[in-house]
Structures are given as structure tokens and as C-alpha cells.
Amino acid sequence: MSVNLSKADVLGFEASGVILLKNVLTPEQVTVLKRGIDRGFQNPSPRHKVASEESDTGKFFEDFRCWEEIPEYREIIFNSCLPKLASKLMQSKTVRLHHDHMLIKAPKTQARTPWHQDTPYYNLEGNQTISFWIPVDPVPVESGLEFIAGSHKWPWMMPRTFKDNAAKWFPEGSLPELPDIEGNRMQFPIVAFDMQPGDVVAFNFHMMHAGQGSTGMRRAMSIRYIGDDVVHIKRPWVTSPYFPELEKEGELASGSPFNHRLFPVVYVDKAIKL
């Protein structure tokens, strides 16, 4: 399905860091992605995790970096209109896959993902980044993601563990603390969306965002692409997702472009027209 972006769409994404795009995937592509997600859930990789407590009335399941094992993921990552949309929105000539991230919240899952930025978890630096969050089930606004418009321009905030709120990777006091967003919601430009299968929400890696619990089944895929200005950074902590292959001598130097088989080029546009 072809999705035409206007210059206003591109500039709006640049300013706010997030955009909802309706009817991006065809019904057939939604079926393909749903089949892949179900395959991934039934045959989890060693990288999977359960992010909900045992006492939760539902279950929050995640898996990462499965595109090489699951052909349905490859079909959407490489052959849908998403790479071209990524090029336009990031204003980048080249689009590479960084990783895929599958997320399933079973009905009545209480686990809520707290407000956070994704950037500290990743092995990269750069602004030309985009996550496409793609549900294959209807997602009412109260069960989806929330974003603070414009927060991709904020500095790094102290990353904390989701379960016990402990400072992660950095000493206490070394980074600005996350503001009390939940206690002062009216003070922040929070946006959220009702979504149907085929819709996608695109956002910059550095966006401040949160995930809510679910009322019904919520199966989704995040496909994360990177553009021209993004370089690899070796972190002194284990990133999420982790790329142990890059620990080998001479694999990918810190500060270098992502010229590596793990991060294939999915689109090249030598003459971007907005």
C-alpha cells in the first residue's frame, strides 16, 4: 500500500518526534505479520523475556532480533512501504534495519511500561532514527503507547529499572531526573492514539514514551530503522537488545557507520523529494 507523505507530515515529525499513519499495511500484510508474531511467541528465541510479574492477571512477553529466523518479519521489514516511509520521515538517503522487537500483552495485563527514552538502551548515536510500532490487533487509546510531543529534543534522563526504579548504568545524580509526568500530566503535551490493524505510529528513538496495560489481546511489532547520521557506539553496559557478535575483535569500531551484516540496508533514495 502506498502512503503519500506531505511536506507538512515530514516537518511535523521533525518537530514533534511522533506521527500516526493510517492504513500503512494492507490486510494481507497484517495477516503475514500476525502469523510471524504468533510463530515467534510459540518458538521464542533465547533473547525473549517476560516483563510482567507472576502475580499479573495477564502477561507481557517480548522478543528481539528475530528477523533472520522468521520469514514473515523479513517480508514486512524489507518489502513493505515502511523503509521508504522511514527514508522520508528521517530525511535520510539510506535506511538500515537496526532491530525488530516483538511485544505481546495478553488480555488484562496490568504491567505498565514507565516513561522512558530508548536511546540509553541502544548501541548508537544519531538523530535519524525511527521506530514503527505496528499492532495487529485493535488497540484502544487506553491500551496503547503514550508520547510527549517534542521530547526527542530533551537531554538524556536518568535511566531506571522498570521494576524497582533503581538508577541504571549511571551514578545517582549524574543525569537529570525524569520529571513527575504522571503526577503532572496536564503540564505535558501527551499524545496517544486509537489504532487499528494496518496503522502504525512512528517515533524517534529519543522520544519520551510509556506503554499502558491492556484490556484485550495486544500483539505488536516494533521495527527500528536508522539513517545516515547514526553511528555505532560501544557502551560500557549490556545494551537492549544485546549484540554479542559485535564483541569480537575488529567487528565494528565505536563511532563507525553500521556497515555490518546485522544491520542490512533496506532502502536507498539518492534524490529525496519532500
pLDDT surpassing 80 at residue 273: no
**Residue 81 — φ and ψ, nearest 5°?**
-80, 0
Coil, strand or helix at 186: helix
Mean pLDDT of the chain: 93
- pLDDT per residue as tens digits for the range 211-264: 999 999 999 999 999 999 999 999 988 899 999 999 988 899 999 999 999 999
Q: Is 113 exposed, middle or buried (0-12, 13-18, 19+ CB in 10 A)?
A: middle
Taking every pair of Cα atoms in the chain, the longest distance, rounded to a whole number of angstroms, is 53
Q: How far apart (Å, rounded) are the C-alpha atoms in residues 259 and 195?
A: 35
pLDDT of residue 148: 98
CA 125 from centre of chain: 15
- Which H helix or E strand runs over 148? strand 145-148
pLDDT of residue 174: 80
**Residue 25 — φ and ψ, nearest 5°?**
-95, 145
CA 268 from centre of chain: 21
- pLDDT per residue as tens digits for the range 56-92: 999 999 999 999 999 999 999 999 999 999 999 999 9
pLDDT of residue 164: 64
pLDDT of residue 249: 81
Kindly report the number of other CB atoms within 10 A of residue 133's CB atom.
25
pLDDT surpassing 80 at residue 268: yes
pLDDT of residue 250: 85
Give, in words, the CATH class of 7-262: mainly beta
Query: What nine digits make up the cell of 217?
Result: 489481546
Q: How far apart (Å, rounded) are the C-alpha atoms in residues 244 and 268?
A: 28
Check: CB of residue 256 under 8 Å from CB of residue 127.
no
* Mean pLDDT of all residues in 28-37: 98
Q: How far apart (Å, rounded) are the C-alpha atoms in residues 205 and 211?
A: 15
Q: How far apart (Å, rounded) are the C-alpha atoms in residues 75 and 223?
A: 12
Q: How far apart (Å, rounded) are the C-alpha atoms in residues 70 and 56?
A: 29
